Amino acid sequence: MTVLRVMGTETEYAVTDRANPRANPVQLSFDVVDGAADDDRRHIRWDYRGEDPVNDARGYRLERASARRDMLTDSPQLQVVNTIAPNGGRIYVDHAHPEYSAPETLDPFQALLYDRAGDRLMLVAAREASVRTGKRIELFRNNVDGKGASWGSHESYQILRSVPFDLLIAIMTPHFVTRQIYCGTGRVGLGERCETAGFQLSQRADYVHAKVGLQTTFDRPIINTRDESHSTDRYRRLHVIVGDANRMDTPEALRLGTTSMIAWLAEHADEVGYDLTALACRLTPADPVEAIHMVSHDLTLQQPYATEGGGTITAWQTQVLLRSAVYEVAAGVYGTDIDGEPLWPDEPTKRIMAMWGTALEDVARVAHADDEERMGMTGAAGRLEWLLKWQLMERLRTRRGLGWNDPKIRAMDIAWAALEPRASVFEAVRAHAISLIDDAALDGARTTAPASTRAWLRAEVVRRFPNDVVAASWRSITVRGGDGQLHDIDIADPGEHTEAACRAMLEPVGTVDDLIRACSAER
């Protein structure tokens, strides 16, 4: 694996009823999911057998009796509404938010594309729900309400289980603390309840309170240890909960791409004798929770944090060193060309490494600029979401003489995230942000699954045999055969069951019994 690995996003949306500010968000979420469900697939249940939210990657299990009810995501009676999206993803109610889990993809650009396709699907679902219910349902792609509540935009990465989890924690921690300098969406207000007026780089940072942990809804950790691989024994799934919901493409591609490359680093450092533990020690903050808050609040981008190893380092320096380590190990693993550039084995990796470099140049330039210069940095603002948001707000503040806690500025932050284009501040400035996705691809990704993962077979079986599919999950599809019995189609390996592997097998299949026979023959 390189930057190419099985990965995907889960996005929770804020939901409101413009006509009734007191509307119950759980009901609104159910309305949206109902709006997303086609008549022929609304009966399909989610199969929770593969879910194990109390299994901890550190090697132990939380007793179910001591788990808070909101950690038991496999308990179906808590969340009954669920639909399989036509692209193989999943749309469902998670606590008080409608959520879209993108289908499994193989590279960060594809993962970005399918996350954006989810925005479109959810927008259409919200409109449909408004028509059906007479409410004015609106969705927002953000993570905070400024009054204490936060919800997630999660990432998942398939990583070789042979990498010790402690090493993964050690090297991912400094990455998650510092990647916000180019991945941050920007946020108005400091503190969970905007206790202090101001602007910060990240939506999520203030809501992180632990270094490592199993939980996602309270006392949120930098490293989430939920060990629920949805895959074969060879892999673990690193579930990342510290990221921001991005509207801009570049920060999201980088969020996915750089994290995948750090995973690659952990998988390959040993091969060339690189001492990753020493690097981690040099970069890891003495207090990672305090550091993630500080980095997000530091608009100078130059404030150092104390490290575990006894030194100090800035977020930017940490990112430079992480990227250098990837280069060093890649030079050993792949060799280099005459310019010293590693011979990256695939284009997406080459592209992510170049974009990572540009992002760090952008951040360096912004760090050395005063506010007036920052206002004119249009190139960097096309790639850094927090900067574009800041520029716009700073202009309005200057024009109207407003403080950071003025309702107009806070309203702008919320409306930045609105999915409905006519209500969205981001949509108004979209032309200023670099787009990595074309409209035709986006249209296709709403209805067509990624060809190169098991999402293809899931989507294809649901498309062709909707009435026979009883339940689906990430790793299996359950169909009712002609004999009335339930049959599981095993799709445990995310990299198999692709279009290339399965199209020919499905060609002669006409009935669900043919399908069951073909799939068991396959095994």
Partner 1 sequence: MPQEQERRSQQSQQSSQTDGQETARVESDFAEQASGLDALLDDIESTLETNAEEYVSSFVQKGGE
Q: Which of 87, 353, 68 is nearest to 216 (CA)?
A: 68
Question: Token pair for residue 347?
Answer: 């284009």
452 counts as binding partner 1 under rule CB under 8 A: yes
422 counts as binding partner 1 under rule CB under 8 A: yes
Q: Please select the residue that binds partner 1; options are 111, 280, 326, 412, rule is CB under 8 A.
A: 412
What is the pairing mode between strands 82-84 and 90-94?
antiparallel
Q: Which of 299, 315, 254, 255 is nearest to 389 (CA)?
A: 299
* Piece of 74-82, 119-127, 289-297, 408-416 that binds partner 1 (CB under 8 A): 408-416
Write down the least CB distance from residue 250 to partner 1, Å: 10
Please give the C-alpha separations between residue 498 and each of 153, 186, 271, 492, in angstroms, as whole numbers: 26, 38, 30, 12
Q: Please select the residue that binds partner 1; options are 30, 100, 109, 182, rule is CB under 8 A.
A: 109
Distance CA 58, CA 138 (A): 39
14 counts as binding partner 1 under rule CB under 8 A: yes
* Length reported for the chain: 523
Write down the least CB distance from residue 300 to partner 1, Å: 22
Q: Please select the residue that binds partner 1; options are 27, 75, 217, 303, rule is CB under 8 A.
A: 217
Residue 91's DSSP bridge partners are 83, 100
Write down the least CB distance from residue 17 to partner 1, Å: 10
Q: Please select the residue that binds partner 1; options are 34, 47, 94, 468, rule is CB under 8 A.
A: 94
What is the pairing mode between strands 305-306 and 208-213?
unpaired
SS (H, E, C) 242-309: CCCCCCCHHHHHHHHHHHHHHHHHHHHHHHHCCCHHHHHHHHCECCHHHHHHHHHHCCCCCCCEEECC
448 counts as binding partner 1 under rule CB under 8 A: no
Q: Which is nearer to partner 1, 20 or 324 (CB)?
A: 20
Residue type, 232: T
222 counts as binding partner 1 under rule CB under 8 A: no
Angle at CA 516, nearest 5°, toward 500 and 447? 50
69 counts as binding partner 1 under rule CB under 8 A: no
Write down the least CB distance from residue 385 to partner 1, Å: 14
444 counts as binding partner 1 under rule CB under 8 A: no
Distance CA 50, CA 193 (A): 36
Distance CA 235, CA 281 (A): 25
The DSSP element (H or E) to which 181 belongs, if any, is helix 180-183
423 counts as binding partner 1 under rule CB under 8 A: yes
499 counts as binding partner 1 under rule CB under 8 A: yes
Q: Please select the residue that binds partner 1; options are 43, 61, 234, 408, rule is CB under 8 A.
A: 408
* Piece of 59-67, 75-83, 159-167, 402-410 that binds partner 1 (CB under 8 A): 402-410
Q: Which is nearer to partner 1, 145 or 490 (CB)?
A: 145
Restricting to residues 268-287, which ones interact with partner 1 according to CB under 8 A?
none
361 counts as binding partner 1 under rule CB under 8 A: no
Write down the least CB distance from residue 307 to partner 1, Å: 29
Q: Which is nearer to partner 1, 424 or 473 (CB)?
A: 424
Is 94 a catalytic site residue? yes
Question: Token pair for residue 191?
Answer: 């503190």
What is the pairing mode between strands 220-224 and 208-213?
parallel
Residue located via tokens 């890649």: 330
**Active-site residue, from 56, 94, 227, 468:** 94
Distance CA 192, CA 210 (A): 15
410 counts as binding partner 1 under rule CB under 8 A: yes
12 counts as binding partner 1 under rule CB under 8 A: yes
Q: Please select the residue that binds partner 1; options are 6, 366, 425, 455, rule is CB under 8 A.
A: 425
Distance CA 165, CA 465 (A): 40
Question: Token pair for residue 8?
Answer: 């995907």
Restricting to residues 131-170, which ones interact with partner 1 according to CB under 8 A?
145-147, 149-152, 154
Write down the least CB distance from residue 152 to partner 1, Å: 4
Q: Are 179 and 319 in contact (CB under 8 A)?
A: yes
Query: In terms of C-beta density within 10 A (0-12 exposed, 13-18 middle, 19 or more buried), how is residue 232 classed?
Result: middle
Size of residue set near partner 1 by CB under 8 A: 70
Write down the least CB distance from residue 313 to partner 1, Å: 29
Write down the least CB distance from residue 447 to partner 1, Å: 18
Q: Which is nearer to partner 1, 20 or 467 (CB)?
A: 20
Restricting to residues 289-348, which ones interact with partner 1 according to CB under 8 A?
346-348
Eight-state DSSP code of residue 418: B
**Residue 170: which residues within 8 A CB-CB, separation 6 or more?**
276, 277, 280, 281, 284
Question: Token pair for residue 97?
Answer: 């938010």
260 counts as binding partner 1 under rule CB under 8 A: no
Write down the least CB distance from residue 38 to partner 1, Å: 25
Write down the least CB distance from residue 423 to partner 1, Å: 7
Please report, in angstroms and rounded to a whole number, the separation of the first and last CA atoms in the chain: 25
Q: Which residues are known catalytic residues?
A: 94
Q: Which residues contact partner 1 (rule: CB under 8 A)?
A: 12, 14-16, 21, 25-26, 94-97, 99, 109, 145-147, 149-152, 154, 216-218, 220, 241, 346-348, 350-351, 354-355, 358, 375-376, 378-379, 381-382, 391-392, 395-396, 399, 406-408, 410-412, 414-415, 422-425, 428-429, 431-432, 434-436, 451-452, 498-501
